[in-house]
Amino acid sequence: MSAEQQHAIAVDQLIKYYSQRKKIVSPDGKVSRKQQVKSVDGVSFTLQKGEVLGVIGESGCGKSTLGKLLVRLEEETSGSIRFSGVPSKELHKRSQLAFRRTAQMIFQNPFDTFDPRYTIAELLTDTLKLHKIGGSYDERLAMCEQKMEQAGLVPAQHYLHRYPHELSGGQLQRISILRSMLLSPLFIVADEPVSMLDVSVRADIINMLIDVCQKENTAMVFISHDIISTRYVSDKVAVMYLGRFVEYGPTEEVLHNPKHPYTKALISNSAMLESLEQKREVIRIEGEPPTPINTGPGCYFYSRCYQRRDSCQSIYPDFTDVGAGHKVACPYTS
Amino acid sequence: MAIMEVKNLSVIYHASGKRVAAVSDVSLTIEERDAIGIVGESGSGKSTLAMAILRLLPERIAQAQGEVSFEGADLLTLPAEKLNQLRWKQLAVVFQKSMNALSPVHKIGMQMTDVYRIKETGISKRETRSKMLQLLDMVNLPERVYDLYPHELSGGMMQRVAIALSLMHNPKLLILDEATTALDVVTQGQILEEMVALEQKLGITRMMITHDMSVVASSCNKVAVMYAGRILETGLVKDVLANPVHPYTKGLLKSIPSFTGEKRNIRGIPGSIPDLSVPNDGCIFAERCEHAMDSCLIEKPQDMVLPGNHRVACHLAGGAAYVS
């Protein structure tokens, strides 16, 4: 087996541009010109089986677009995604069902995930039926029941014959995770799976997510704006800003020894219980992220950076390794 | 000096033949220049409490009993005219979606001056404008915002406008109902920091409603933990969050992951909030409490006062049965 085949997922220079038509009135009449919104702009990473990558960043930085690209809910502009060495495009073309067995997604809002007209039993067994798993309805139902009880929804009978609106957000999110994991996918994307839930149930959902991924040896991309829960879930962390990774590396290394000015600002601004014991200094960054349309040649973070220099404006910094797989896109890290 | 005293406040919603006790028997004292955080799960009555204090609940379906004294006046019985004089000037509020209240067809500056001139009559336009620019500056917005429409601003900027609006008459008490919850981490961090600085400058007392313990930890000095319409534990932030006594507070804190140190096991609180239309004589948390005893189901716990005015409503607090 080659090195490439060992990776559950390998993403190389993934790019997604949305085109936008903007009418610009020039002196010689109306001119229609295409603009490109660079939503995801050259993202590369690899994950082994069972590894978890946490993607953090502000809203509008392209986290969710990246998630959708990975499970082919969006078509990429260029770049490649490979699952165990097989290009995802090919896999998807060959058989959509086979692709869905490889890559699955968990969405943010569990109330929107399910069709309100079906019971939980129907929703879960339909997935198995589509993939021709199990011989009869009863057999499939028994399989679902077993999986539910393993995931802590005890007794399963209590939930199976209810409709989605009869369950709480936490219970629904568990079922949503369970349904995505029914097919034992190789890779899963969890897009803000806990941000809609109450604080008291978040912990349980995070634990369940970690458990199922370990049990099935599934690689996961965990998208969140909550740095602290990301720390619990992931092995690696990527910080995203305007469609690019600005920092990438092992979780503890990136979060406790951040190098990029954006990561530092992000961490210093997030409210934590620890701030009770020691007052941390809050790094101020100005304004909101700009829209990724005319990004210019320089560093994207230039306009908000607190340690910018003139040289940052002329060229986008390289993604350099500062040791132990910790990569940063900023030359002034010391 | 206490700026606001809430005594035995109860709110009952009458809905489809049921009587839902959303807030029951809440007593709370807010001292001047305090920043008190009210935390709890969704559905624990935090917002109802704030709305009752402000008398913004629909009178037809919600019935508030008790006493809310604010500078010597009982807000619950005050005639409407008197209450109107207090609102904006003494009492201001910012809601989670305050920005949605901005009219999309008027410029920010015009909307702000309109509100300002309701209370402050006989002031020239130029003066108002300079006052509004000063307000915008206070919340770190550039001057150009005055001439922009709401759609030209981002969510964080609009929430800042809402905060500026609430501060325009230097209110004594500011109530923030999840005012920063919908914002991004960076924006939230900055707004919180600005709020704390402004309070020190203007001498504002703040009541902050949130479900996020970490927000309370970083921006408040007192905290009240609410559950199913009752306040279970209250005191200084450094006492309550560092040494929680009530099992519910402990559970809440255990469910929050920490940023530093070892990844200890995080754990949620099993179960969910009880049906509040069913009268409950015992401790409201007994159903989900792992330390519940027989007496918890029968008798309602009284407030137990620990050093530092740290109050806990739990039978087990201080009892031998609950040493750990």
Residues B102, B15 share a domain: no
pLDDT tens-digit profile of B287-298?
888 888 888 888
Nearest to A228 among B218, B257, B268 (CB): B257
Interchain proximity A276–B269, CB inside 8 Å: no
Scored b (16 or more CB within 10 A) or e, A166-182 reads ebebbbbbbbbbbbbbb
**Do residue B182 and residue B119 come from a single domain?**
no
Q: What pLDDT sits at residue A4?
A: 58
Does residue B208 belong to any structural domain of this protein?
yes
- Judge whether residue B319 has pLDDT over 60: no
Interface of B with A in 56-115 (CB under 8 A): none
Provide, rounded to the nearest whole percent, the portion of chain B with pLDDT above 70: 97
CA distance B64 to B48: 10
Cα B99 to Cα B76: distance, rounded to the nearest angstrom: 27
Residue B320 has a pLDDT of 40
Scanning every residue of chain A, which has its alpha carbon at the shortest distance from the alpha carbon of B252? A200
Query: What type of residue sits at position B81?
Result: E
pLDDT digits (tens, 9 = 90+) for B230-254: 999 999 999 998 889 999 999 888 8
In a domain, A242, yes or no: yes
Chain A contacts to B (CB-CB under 8 A):
58-59, 168, 170, 198-207, 225-229, 231-232, 255-256, 265-266, 268-277, 282, 284-285, 288
Q: Is residue A247 part of a domain?
A: yes
Q: How far is B156 from chain A, CA to nearest CA, in Å?
A: 8
Q: Does residue B315 surpass a pLDDT of 90?
A: no
**Entry pTM:** 0.85
Do the domain assignments include residue B320?
Answer: no
Going by pLDDT thresholds of 50, 70 and 90, the confidence category of residue B322 is: very low
Give residue B160's domain range: 91-170
pLDDT class of B50 with cuts at 50, 70, 90: very high
Residue A158 belongs to a domain: no
Q: For residue A254, what is the domain's CATH number?
A: 3.40.50.300
* B41-75 burial code (b ≥16 CB/10 A, e <16): bebbbbbbbbbbbbbebeeeebebebebbbeeeeb
ipTM of the complex: 0.77
Structure tokens at B223: 């905290």
User: Of B157, B242, B268, which has the smallest distance from its Cβ to A201's Cβ?
Assistant: B268
- Most B CBs within 10 A among A61, A222, A273, hence the mutation to make, goes to A273
Q: How many domains does chain B have?
A: 2
Tell me the percentage of chain B whose pLDDT exceeds 90.
40
pLDDT > 90? residue B59 = no
A226: which chain B residues are within 8 Å (Cβ-Cβ)? 185
Q: Any chain A CB within 8 A of the CB of B294? A: no
Residue in A closest to B250 by C-alpha: A200
Quote the tokens at residue A184: 């034992």
**pLDDT tens digit sequence for B13-40:** 998 888 999 999 999 999 998 999 999 8
Domain boundary among B170, B198, B228: B170
User: Residue A141 falls within a domain, yes or no?
Assistant: no
Give the model confidence (pLDDT) of B88-106 as tens digits.
Answer: 889 999 988 887 889 999 9
CB A313 within 8 A of CB A241: no
Cβ contact, residue pair B214, A255, below 8 Å: no
Residue A203 has its nearest CB partner, among B156, B237, B266, at B266
Q: Which chain A residues have a beta carbon less than 8 Å from that of B184?
A: 58-59, 225
Name every chain A residue with its beta carbon within 8 A of the beta carbon of B238: 276
Total domains in the fold of chain A = 1
Q: What is the chain A residue with the closest CA to B153?
A: A288
Q: Are A237 and A255 in contact (CB under 8 A)?
A: yes
User: Among residues A239, A54, A204, which one has the least CA distance to residue B257?
Assistant: A204
CB-based contact, B147 to chain A, within 8 Å: no
- Taking an 8 Å cut-off on Cβ atoms, the answer to whether A275 and B218 are in contact is yes
DSSP 3-state of A178:
helix
Residues of chain B with C-beta less than 8 angstroms from the C-beta of A205:
268
> Of B125, B152, B170, which residue sits at a domain end?
B170
Please check whether residue A123 lies inside any domain of the structure. no
Asked if B186 and B306 sit in the same domain, the reply is: yes
Q: For chain B, what is the mean pLDDT?
A: 88
User: In whole angstroms, what separates CA A157 from the centre of its chain?
Assistant: 32
Instruction: Tell me, yes or no, whether A148 lies in a domain.
Output: no
Nearest chain B residue to A201, by CA: B268
Question: A63 with A55: CB under 8 angstroms?
Answer: yes
- B118/B231 same-domain check: no
Q: Which domain holds residue A320?
A: 3-21+34-112+185-328
Q: Say if B323 falls within a structural domain.
A: no
Are residues B276 and B257 located together in one domain of the fold?
A: yes
CATH number for B286:
3.40.50.300
For B60-76, write each residue's pLDDT tens digit.
899 999 999 998 889 99
How would you classify the pairing of strands A29-47 and A219-224? Answer: unpaired
Domain assignment present for residue A189? The answer is yes
Q: How far is CA B238 from CA A273, A332, B29, B254, B311, in A?
A: 11, 38, 18, 16, 13
Inspect the interface and report whether the beta carbons of A288 and B154 lie closer than 8 Å: yes
The pLDDT value recorded for residue B321 is 44
B281, two tokens: 């004589």
**Sites in chain A below the pLDDT cut of 50:** none
The reported pLDDT for the residue numbered A284 is: 77
> Among B147, B170, B193, which residue terminates a domain?
B170
Query: Which strand ranges, in their side-by-side order, compose the sheet holding B18-31?
Result: B18-31, B2-15, B62-70, B73-74
CB A88 within 8 A of CB A163: no
Higher pLDDT, A93 or B156: A93
- Asked whether residue B181 falls in the same domain as residue B278, the answer is yes
B214 with A273: Cβ contact below 8 A: yes
Nearest to A273 among B154, B185, B213 (CB): B213
Alpha helices in chain B (DSSP H): 46-54, 80-86, 108-119, 125-138, 155-166, 185-202, 213-219, 237-240, 247-254, 294-298
Task: Indicate whether B79 and B190 sit together in one domain.
Answer: yes
Q: What is the model's pLDDT at position A27?
A: 67
User: Does the pLDDT of residue B110 top 70, yes or no?
Assistant: yes
Residue B318 predicted with pLDDT over 60: no
Cis peptide before B274 (omega within 30 of 0): no
Of B217, B219, B193, B215, whose CA–CA distance to B206 is shortest?
Answer: B219
User: Which residue in the block uniquely carries the two structure tokens 């970690």?
Assistant: A210
3-state SS string for B78-114? CCHHHHHHHECCCEEEECCCHHHHCCCCCCHHHHHHH
Q: Does the beta carbon of B272 lie under 8 angstroms from any beta carbon of chain A?
A: yes
Chain B, window 203-222: residues with a beta carbon less than 8 angstroms from a chain A beta carbon: 211-215, 217-219
Q: Is residue B84 part of a domain?
A: yes
Domain-located, residue A63: yes
